[in-house]
Amino acid sequence: METTQRARSDDFRLGGDLGVRRIGFGAMRLARDGWSGPARDPEQGRAVLRRAVELGVNHLDTADFYRSGDGAVRANALIREALHPYPPGLVIATKVGPVFGPKGPMPAPAAGLRALVEANLTSLGLDRLDLVYLRIGVMTPPHGESLAARFEALAALREEGLIGHLGLSNVDADHLAEARAIAPVAAVQNLFHLAKQDDAALLDLCAASGIAFVPFGPIGSGDGLDDARLATVAARHRATVSQTALAWLLALSPATLAIPGTGSVAHLEENLAASSILLTPDDLAELGLTTRRAR
């Protein structure tokens, strides 16, 4: 794999005080492959987590609802079993909002968020959560839906000391403005990747405000990775298309954080190696990156 010598910052301060590397790890695929796949081997999940920390990952993104269909394998339990007592500087972000039943995910009411936060505290073996996202909707932002009551409930838990920083997931600019009128927002986590750039303006808004923009599905779960431009740039750097898609995300803005997830040690190592790919201006132009977001 080849890189250029163009300088790039590989760190970000979440909420102004939590220093993280810009490629972290998303825990969704630890318990099973996607939302409906079979349960994974728990020992393999623990091995992935240990290797991630060995390789310098200090930002884990998880949720108490990341679990196998039968609930036997749970991402938070694997994190605790593999890494507790947690190494200094490890930032663990989680999310609350949906509750899952026979008819699929439903939004938890504001009064139910304390129980969800406490479930994360218990399953992770923590007294305080570094970052908690309020997730609304399922895969796309529910435009026009107020999040004020729910965000106020999380802000109250932050005042109690159960939460360090607050984030939002699956939101639009109006949601962000509504939340910021209540309490500081440290990060926004929306679906975003090379083939889905609907939230480019929201990314710009986050960057201008010192808010981290943390795409979920950062390599599109395969969607869009057949782009011929991406394959050309990847070949130029002797990298995979997945690595190049991650490098593209890092090139968007100093505020973007990537959290690719996997249940494989080999795939983990491949993902983290993307941090060494420094795309050239020609690469970025070929991939259609606009200069107002590029470094």
23 has pLDDT over 70: yes
Catalytic residue among 12, 25, 65, 66: 66
Residue 64 in any domain: the answer is yes
Residue 287 in any domain: the answer is no
Whole domain around residue 23: which residue ranges?
11-224+250-278
Residue 261 in any domain: the answer is yes
Residue 202 in any domain: the answer is yes
Tell me the pLDDT tens digit for each residue of 130-156: 999 999 987 789 999 999 999 999 999
Spatial CA neighbour of 168 closest among 150, 199, 140, 189: 189
**Does residue 59 come out as left (phi exceeding 0), alpha (psi in the -120 to 50 range) or beta?**
beta
**In Å, what is the CA distance from 61 to each residue of 110, 177, 271, 274, 281?**
22, 24, 15, 18, 31
Tell me how far apart the alpha carbons of residues 118 and 145 are, in angstroms, rounded to a whole number.
Answer: 25
Residue 283 in any domain: the answer is no
Residue 102 in any domain: the answer is yes
Residue 1 in any domain: the answer is no
Tell me the pLDDT tens digit for each residue of 210-236: 999 999 999 876 566 778 889 999 999
pLDDT at 289: 66
Tell me how far apart the alpha carbons of residues 251 and 258 are, in angstroms, rounded to a whole number.
Answer: 11
pLDDT at 227: 81
CATH for 39: 3.20.20.100
**Catalytic site includes residue 66:** yes
Q: C-alpha angle 74/77/79, rounded to 5°?
A: 110
pLDDT at 100: 84
What domain count does the chain have?
Answer: 1
3 has pLDDT over 80: no
Residue 40 in any domain: the answer is yes
pLDDT band, very low/low/confident/very high, at 180 (cuts 50, 70, 90): very high
* Average pLDDT estimate for 171-196: 96
pTM: 0.93
pLDDT band, very low/low/confident/very high, at 2 (cuts 50, 70, 90): very low
Q: What is the token pair recorded at 112? A: 């139910």
User: With pLDDT > 70 as the criterion, what percentage of the chain qualifies?
Assistant: 93
Tell me how far apart the alpha carbons of residues 164 and 158 are, in angstroms, rounded to a whole number.
Answer: 6
